Structure 1
Amino acid sequence: MNESSAQGANAALVVAAGRGVRAGGGLPKQYRTVGGQPILRRTIENLLNMPFFARVLCVIHPDDAALYAMAIDGLSGAERLLPPVTGGASRQASVKAGVEELARLEFKRIVVHDAVRPFATATLFERVIEALAGAPGAIAALPVNDTLKRGSTGHMITDTIDRAGLFAAQTPQAFRTDAMLAAHRLAATAQREDFTDDASLLEWQDQPVALVDGEVDNFKITAPADFARAERLLSAHERQIIRTGLGYDVHAFTDGDHVTIGGIKISHNRGVLAHSDGDVVLHALTDAILGALCDGDIGRHFPPSDERWRNAPSDQFLAFAAARVREKGGLLINLDATLIAEAPRVGPHREAIRRKIAEAAMLPVNAVSIKATTSEQLGFVGRREGLAAMALATISLPASAPNGNDAGDE
């Protein structure tokens, strides 16, 4: 995720104004429960756990204020949840209401998501946002694999449709706010209210929309059978295992005028001898995450024999390791690092280091701990010949997640 995304240019827009009652239960489906919680709550909670969204906004039906309040009651991270806006008579009108509000708040990118798709992963949201670098819109979609038939009202086949190049659209669908706002306003002026998804408005104006790989588990809960499928999937997702990884790194001093610690350059009368930037804290944290994943070590993924990594900033190594956790459907819970050095002092830079690590790992700052200690003038650190760092990473993974390749050094 690029720097502007991390700094809050992205907002998630949850479409929850529908009356969908085909699934039964006497309530709009977004307020029916899966695993004992309203689907809408699960969807919002999923988005609030993604730090690249600065705010989440829901569009709700005017009759659902009480249901919505109950659904979000006590939700962790609710300070990033904007007050809901009222939707319109159609999905298109509801999305427009949300887009108008987020445009007023000056968000640069909006990601629209169905309230009843609670299983979309952070990796999927990242993909659609990153695709906006090349197009004003991007959607998640799955290629159509089944043979398609057209039938008559009497349920007789009338035609077979070529499935080559066909995709089934999903949400999330991401858009540059200015393009989406203009499209909605133009459609309203033209009295066009027949667009069934958000990308269609841009297509209508001949604007490019990128396709990114969707996810099979990112299905829309619509029919009664979907609730049973959601319960099974939720049961699998909630069987989590907790893992802890340990990392350690050391670098010798050499001539120089600074050292890099936790992504922050700190003035010093020595530099460090290293192939990359020699950031012992970020190297130790990277190894800790990879260790928790049983996925080798930093030297395996970024070998010092590879010239691509000469003088490379180590925050990209940490970002890579954190992304590996998300790719396995896991969650990075906590990072804890200790610098071992006689000098320089870390105290004045502690908060800047925590913020830098949190940004690279896509974590809240309160999930990052940085400490420092000396070696009481013992050993190579005590003789001021170098510095070292130790780190722990705590992650959760679905019990079904495969182990990584723990081959180690190669």
Structure 2
Amino acid sequence: MGNADKPKQFLTVGEKPVIIHTIEKFIINSHFIEIVVLVPKSWLAYTKDIIRKYIRQHEKIVVVEGGTTRNETIMNAIQYIEDCGRLTEDTIIVTHDSVRPFVTYRIIEENIKFARNFGACDTVIPASDTIVESRDGSFISNIPEREKMFQGQTPQSFKAKHLRKIYQSLTDAERAILTDACKIYVLKNEPVYLVEGEVSNIKITYPHDLRVAEAILGGNQTC
């Protein structure tokens, strides 16, 4: 995000930090017992402050220290749930990028439904461009069939206890190649159901994405 002086989830879009827009999408869903926000240790106090400032129902939100990787952060969330005495075989954890503020109610509902039904699910959209594989970074190695290619989004949702069990079964080499939580299941040949995402469910990563997010918010306000 260029020379931003803070993590991108704390940048302002539509007069509120990105992370606040994201939390608001989950706080209105009655299925959730609690919203667990995981952040670096140095940003714990700041995160708690902005949540109290912008969100009225902040009693339903807890801020917890994350890990050094995405999956360690998810494991910290599961440990928190267990410490609270709420981790059972049926506990569902819906994991989401704080910088995807345009996730829809429908996507969240379907993540909960299919995580319950299948144990794990991932939000995806069909690849609109041809995907080119290059093993050396210089020449094309393969061009997969586009009809079989999808672009991953979030949420990714799981039965939390089983997710932790198979994560703990991974070797160090397997953990080293993880890109997201769903790959844990792929490595162990466990099924992951596909939930249809939305093109608008963008991840704010670059300065251009901030401008797109402002445009989306402006369009929503006009409607």
TM-score, normalised to structure 2, is: 0.88
Residues in 1 aligned to 2:149 and 2:73: alpha-carbon distance in whole angstroms:
27
Is residue 193 of structure 2 the alignment partner of residue 213 of structure 1? no
Q: Is contact 2:131–2:149 with CA below 8 Å preserved after alignment? A: no
- Identity, in percent, stands at 28
Point out 4+ residue stretches in structure 1 off by more than 4 angstroms: 151-154, 156-159, 188-191
Deviates further, 125-134 or 114-123: 125-134
The match for 1:140 among 123, 127, 133 is: 123
Partner SS for 1:161? coil
What displacement does 1:191 show? 7.2
Write the mapping of 1:2-401 to structure 2, written as runs, cut at 5 A: 22-74=1-53, 75-82=55-62, 84-105=63-84, 106-107=86-87, 108-150=91-133, 153=137, 159-187=142-170, 192-239=175-222, 399=223
Q: Which runs of 5+ in 2 are unaligned?
A: none
Paired AA for residue 119 in structure 2: P
Rate the CA distance shift 1:45–1:69 in 2: closer, same or farther, 3 A: same
d(CA) in 1 for partners of 2:149, 2:38? 30
Evaluate the alpha carbon distance shift between residue 193 and residue 92 of structure 1 in structure 2; reply closer, same or farther with a 3 A threshold.
farther
Q: CA deviation at 1:188?
A: 7.2
Secondary structure in structure 2 of the residue aligned to 1:238:
helix
Equivalent position amino acid for 1:67 in 2: Y
Q: Residue type of the partner of 1:125?
A: I
- Larger RCO, structure (CA 8 Å, separation 6 or more): 2
Report the Cα distance in structure 2 between the residues aligned to 1:57 and 1:148, rounded to whole angstroms: 35
Alpha-carbon separation, structure 2, partners of 1:56 and 1:49:
11
Pick closer, same or farther for the CA change 1:120–1:44 going to 2, 3 Å.
same
Task: Give the structure with the larger helix fraction.
Answer: 2
Deviation at 1:144, TM superposition (A): 1.0
Larger radius of gyration: 1
Higher share of residues assigned strand: 1
1:216-238: CA deviation from partner (whole Å, max 9, x where unpaired): 11111101110000000011122
| Corresponding residue SS for 1:52 | coil
Distance change >3 Å, CA 191–CA 133, structure 1 → 2: closer
User: Does the 8 Å CA contact 1:40/1:71 hold for their aligned counterparts?
Assistant: no
Q: Which runs of 5+ in 1 are unaligned?
A: 1-21, 240-398, 400-410
Taking the aligned partners of 2:168 and 2:16, their CA distance within structure 1 comes to: 36
Give how far 1:190 is off: 7.2
Per-residue displacement from partner, 1:277-297 (whole Å, max 9, x unpaired)?
A: xxxxxxxxxxxxxxxxxxxxx
Secondary structure at the counterpart of residue 200 of structure 1:
helix
Q: Give 1:132 deviation, angstroms.
A: 2.4
Q: Distance in 2 between matches of 1:187 and 1:115?
A: 26
Shift in Å, 1:185: 2.4
Shift of 1:173: 1.0
RMSD: 2.1
The answer to whether the 8 Å contact 2:44/2:64 transfers is no
User: How far apart, CA to CA, are the structure 1 residues paired with 2:171 and 2:35?
Assistant: 25
TM-score by length of 1: 0.50
Question: CA offsets, 1:79-115, max 9 Å, x none?
Answer: 1112x22112111211111122123331511100110
Letter in 1 for 2:128: N
Is the 8 Å Cα contact of residues 128 and 172 (structure 1) preserved in structure 2?
yes
